[in-house]
Amino acid sequence: MTNTPDRARIRFPGISSRAYEHPLDRSALVALRSLTGFDTVLRKLSGLISERGIRLMFLGGAVRVSEEQFRNMHDMLRDTCYILDAEKVPELYVIQDPQPNAMAIGVDNPFIVLNTGLIDLLDDEELRYVIAHEVGHVLSGHAVYRQMALILTGLGSRLAWIPLGNVAIGAILMGLQEWQRKSELSADRAGLLAGQDVEAVKRALMKMAGGSRLHEMSTEAFLAQAREYEEAGDLRDGLLKFLNLMRRTHPFAVIRFGEIMKWHASEDYRAVMAGNYPRRDQDDSASFTDEVKNAAKSYRDSWNTTNDPFVGKVRDVAGGAADLAGAVFDRLGRRPNDNPGN
């Protein structure tokens, strides 16, 4: 295995998380960032779940990564934050749990948690990708919206006795889960940008799907499996794939594998690596209308290249809805003194 030395990794000064966010994720984030008072409302809602209490739980029951504890992971975290030009290095905790998992938690001071099951599964460069993946969540503010999902889940259980109360919360949660699945694709891209080793990302995703026996797996066969999942089957299979994803917060590993390979081969990735990327100091001027159009285009492009028969059935209807949404946002975004003919 060939690792990319730290000195060879490209740094991205002033990079905005918009540079690597999936279009659907990015459009939603731009919208929420532009809402006056959103942060205040969210912080009041987050009072329903004690962020301080959650942090104290990990402070008391896990190991905080530092120069004295898990020094290797501490260095990976600092390298990642340096490469992605993070303004603050989040805390990182390791907790004894055989389930391979990692998460970013919190609103005011987000922190990262890695399970030992995941650490034991991965080599150093794969672990670097996972740490950078979680840093990507923090930089995009995904931990904030996961907190929203936790709050709504709690409300759903409390409102189960009210007619249609749980249904309404469930509908909102479905939207949040679709958003969260796209946020995982964004974080995968952040992981690739920080580690700059696509083979490590591929290995990590294969291990998350099939365990530690990587010598018995094949990247080519796994990619073929991803293509088969996307393309094979009839209309019933397409519907079943849609239903299987409805309650998941993460896309399936084969989907993530295929998506990161597409992004690695894209002009967008090459542009970022060449230093052509959105800057944080331009975030306030980001256009919600433009991002909605980008999200619609992303879906349309994926629909036009897939052989999934279920997607084929809804392509024309959804494409027309996307065009209508773009026209509506064009009208809403036009200033009163704009000339419609321009």
Q: Catalytic residues, which ones?
A: 134
Q: What is the DSSP letter of 122?
A: S
- Residue 233 has a CB neighbour count (10 Å cut-off) of 17
| C-alpha closest to that of 134 among 219, 250, 286 | 250
| C-alpha closest to that of 148 among 53, 39, 35 | 39
In degrees and rounded to multiples of 5, residue 49 shows phi and psi of -120, 120
Strands laid side by side in the 111-115 sheet: 63-64, 92-95, 111-115, 102-105
Q: CB-based burial of residue 76 (10 Å sphere; 0-12 exposed, 13-18 middle, 19+ buried)?
A: buried
CA angle 254, 319, 229 (to 5 degrees): 15
Q: Per-residue b/e over 14-44, b at no fewer than 16 CB within 10 Å?
A: ebbbbbbbbbbbbbbbbebeeeeeeeeebee
- Print the SS3 string covering 184-224: HHHHHHHHHHHHCCHHHHHHHHHHHHHCCCHHHCCHHHHHH
* Amino acid of residue 117: G
- Residue 208 has a CB neighbour count (10 Å cut-off) of 20
Q: What is the DSSP letter of 16?
A: -
